[in-house]
Amino acid sequence: MTDKERQGGLANLSSLSIRRPIGVLACASVVVVVGLFFAGQLPLALLPQIIYPQIRV
């Protein structure tokens, strides 16, 4: 088994990033844009309704 075969997926990702920086940058940009879009779609309440625990005797 050669050194290249022993290296895991992280080494492959690093070499891909070095060989094709524009492609990796484009993929990362797409992930960021999609994340921002869906973050804007999340329903958020300014003051969420809180139910306090009660003890009854």
**What digits encode the pLDDT tens for the residues 10-39?**
788 888 889 999 999 999 999 999 999 999
Residue 54, domain member (yes or no): no
**According to the model, what pLDDT value does residue 23 have?**
92
Residue 36, domain member (yes or no): yes
**According to the model, what pLDDT value does residue 2 have?**
58
Label residue 47 by pLDDT band (50, 70, 90): confident
pTM of this prediction exceeds 0.85: no
> Where in the sequence is the domain holding 13, given as residue range(s)?
3-41
pLDDT above 80 for 42: yes
Residue 18, domain member (yes or no): yes
Residue 17, domain member (yes or no): yes
Number of structural domains the chain divides into:
1
Single-letter amino acid code for the residue at 51: I
Residue 47, domain member (yes or no): no
